[in-house]
Structure 1
Amino acid sequence: MPLDRWRLRGPEESQPPELWAAAGAEAEDSDSDSEGSGDPCALRPLFARAGLLSQAEGSAYVELRGGTKVLCAAWGPREPAEPGAGRLRCEFRRAPFAARGGRRAPGGGGAREEEREAAAALREALEPAVRLSRYPRARLAVSALVLQDGGSALAAAIGAASVALADAGVELFDLAVGCALSRDPGAASGWRLQPRAGSERRAAARLTVAALPALRQVSALLGAGRGADPEAWGQALRLGLDGCHRLYPALRHCLLRAARRRRGKRGTETAAAPGTAQT
């Protein structure tokens, strides 16, 4: 029998895909167990970097330990389609592979409605920070893309979007910083800062706080749930503001590093340009 050269030979050894699915489920269970045994007031480590996208005038990437990755881009100021006061347009999207463990996020009208609500919340959090009066006839645009949703995605998008606007040269009163909280079912359960995806799914109450730390102002509050008295919500607000103040230096240092990189790059280009004087 002649050899079929067009057929791809498979591996000599193979394993059923159920083994990998079980390993992913065990990893998710271990993450939730470690989260439940840790300090509820501890913040997840944050990594931020500005100026990653060359196609946008400003960009920022924010990642939280536990699998939350958000990429934001900013454009403007641009001429609006119709004259009027300065406007801020916000877009919030989730990648099809943003769900936990690489699973595709459910589509349909429910997912699009959730993205529209998140975009409205993002705009509400950013508008008090942007000096729109300086752009009376211009339009600013911000796009947030959730690459991986490991919990507290909207709060991470608020910080990334404000850094992207600052990276684009937009005048701001202050950086808007977001911090999410959740409360598990039960009368004895307390609030948890920056909850992961598992805690957000089973939470009886959720709250996202957006603040301007340098001005000591709250720019937006987004809460949902039941089973908590007004005193508990007040405690959540205080915890959220404290979390925003603790995250603020990381975002500021991100902008400073981006400014130093740009200054060093301009200095290198000036030194390498022909006809320039060398000192």
Structure 2
Amino acid sequence: MPLDHRRVRGPEESQPPELWAGVLQQQEEEDEEGAAPRDPYALRPLFARAGLLSQAEGSAYVELSGGTKVLCAAWGPREAAEPGAPAGGGRLLCEFRRAPFAGRGARCRPGSAAEREAEREAAAALREALEPAVRLARYPRARLAVSALLLQDGGSALAAAISGAALALADAGVEMYDLAVGCALCRAPGPAGDWLLQPGEAEERRAAGRLTLALLPALNQVSAVLGGGEGDPPDAWAQAVRLGLDGCHRLYPVLRHSLLRAARRRGAPTGTA
């Protein structure tokens, strides 16, 4: 019988890939346990750049040390499609999506109902954090749209998306009261667990409580507080809010400087940035 040269013969002996996946997961857990404890008040280095996408009216890329990468794009204002819409302020439409390769051990299967629900909740949180920063009254019967794509989830993804989306809206020339800056915290497990600023993915996975804060630093106004977890005394949550406010104030100059650099690259005046 002639050989079929189009078919690639496999090895005579093979093993299921689940065996190697278990070994890799065990190695990652051992590396996490053996890692040196970090300063709970230290911020992970942040890189931000505005004006990357030519297909969008405004865009921004935000990356946190440790692997979190978010790409945001903004469009508008555009006329609302609904005929006979009542006069008033504009609408802000927010979208949050996870790339299929965003996480190593995906918390939800890509395309599953659980992942779609998680994306809808993140989009709602994104809109809640951004609406107080945008002057929607200046855009009657108009729509503003912003989309955040999580390329890699290394922890504090929602906080990075808030900062990136606000930067994209400002890059699009949307009138805003201030940039919304996001900062995430988590509480280590145990009765005496400390709050950690900008936790990584492994720290979030083991956390007993989580908190994401959005701040308009120039106005000193909190636009959103999103949290949950095991019950703690009110003083512990108050301490977490104070830490988050301090983290937002420390991140604000980085975002502001990236917006100024984007304006200089376009040759726009920077006196009001």
Once the two structures are superposed, residues 77-111 of structure 1 have per-residue CA deviations (whole angstroms, 9 ceiling, x without a partner) of 0001122430000001111111126x584142221
Q: Give the secondary-structure state (helix, strand or coil) at the position aligned to 1:186.
A: coil
Rounded to whole Å, the distance in 2 between the matches of 1:165 and 1:40 is 31
The answer to whether the Cα contact below 8 Å between 1:47 and 1:62 also exists between their aligned partners in 2 is yes
Provide TM-score, normalisation by structure 2.
0.86
**Structure-1 residue corresponding to 2:74:** 74
How far apart are 1:197 and its partner, in Å? 1.0
Q: Give the secondary-structure state (helix, strand or coil) at the position aligned to 2:76.
A: strand
The answer to whether the Cα contact below 8 Å between 1:40 and 1:191 also exists between their aligned partners in 2 is yes
Asked if 1:193 corresponds to 2:197, the answer is: yes
Paired residue total: 260
Distance 1:26 1:74, change over 3 A: same
Aligned amino acid, residue 202 of structure 1: R
Rounded to whole Å, the distance in 2 between the matches of 1:51 and 1:30 is 37
- Structure 2: gaps of 5 or more residues: 11-15, 269-273
Rounded to whole Å, the distance in 1 between the matches of 2:107 and 2:228 is 25
Distance 1:209 1:87, change over 3 A: same
**Structure-2 residue corresponding to 1:51:** 51
Aligned amino acid, residue 267 of structure 2: R
The answer to whether the Cα contact below 8 Å between 1:100 and 1:150 also exists between their aligned partners in 2 is no
The answer to whether the Cα contact below 8 Å between 1:94 and 1:146 also exists between their aligned partners in 2 is yes
The answer to whether the Cα contact below 8 Å between 1:97 and 1:105 also exists between their aligned partners in 2 is no
Moved more, 82-91 or 237-246: 82-91
Provide TM-score, normalisation by structure 1.
0.84
Asked if 1:244 corresponds to 2:245, the answer is: no
Distance 1:182 1:32, change over 3 A: farther
Moved over 6 A (4+): 2-5, 7-10, 16-21
| Structure number with higher helix proportion | 1
Rounded to whole Å, the distance in 2 between the matches of 1:175 and 1:255 is 10
**Structure-2 residue corresponding to 1:136:** 140
**Structure-2 residue corresponding to 1:231:** 235
The answer to whether the Cα contact below 8 Å between 1:62 and 1:156 also exists between their aligned partners in 2 is yes
The answer to whether the Cα contact below 8 Å between 1:96 and 1:104 also exists between their aligned partners in 2 is no
Q: Give the secondary-structure state (helix, strand or coil) at the position aligned to 2:175.
A: coil
How far apart are 1:23 and its partner, in Å? 5.3
The answer to whether the Cα contact below 8 Å between 1:32 and 1:198 also exists between their aligned partners in 2 is no
Alignment of 1:12-51 (within 5 A): 22=23, 26-27=27-28, 29-31=30-32, 33-34=34-35, 37-51=37-51
Asked if 1:148 corresponds to 2:149, the answer is: no
Distance 1:230 1:131, change over 3 A: same
- Percent pairwise identity: 72
Distance 1:40 1:141, change over 3 A: same
Aligned amino acid, residue 208 of structure 1: T
Aligned amino acid, residue 40 of structure 1: P
Rounded to whole Å, the distance in 2 between the matches of 1:52 and 1:241 is 28
The answer to whether the Cα contact below 8 Å between 1:99 and 1:105 also exists between their aligned partners in 2 is no
**Structure-2 residue corresponding to 1:277:** none
Distance 1:187 1:125, change over 3 A: same
Aligned amino acid, residue 70 of structure 2: V
**Structure-1 residue corresponding to 2:221:** 217
